[in-house]
Amino acid sequence: MRNQSPIQPDDGTRQLLKGGGSILGSGILAGILLITVLGGFSPTGASTNTGWFALIIALTCIPFGGLLLALGVAKWFRNRRLARLH
């Protein structure tokens, strides 16, 4: 049997952090553009067609990116804890 390190150098943590941060950042940027440049929104929705597009992007990217980023942070903390134990 080979002695394997408990922490793999490429376990996907970096990809989760980069991907989650990018997607979350895209959603936040779309929300900021919606409010500032694309006409804003009201209780019935966005004011322009591009505003609707930005609203859809924001409402899909923010939760998905947030979950990916949270998973990446959790894996980072787990890897850090495992590194301290060994």
Domain boundaries, the chain: 15-85
Are residues 65 and 27 in contact, defined by beta-carbon separation less than 8 angstroms? Answer: yes
pTM of the model: 0.82
Cα–Cα distance, 72 to 81 (Å, whole number):
14
Tens digit of pLDDT for each residue in 44-83? 888 899 999 999 999 999 999 999 999 999 999 999 998 8
Tens digit of pLDDT for each residue in 4-29? 555 566 788 999 999 999 999 999 99
Cα–Cα distance, 65 to 61 (Å, whole number):
6
Q: Strand, coil or helix: what is 58? A: helix
Residue type, 39: G
Residue type, 45: G
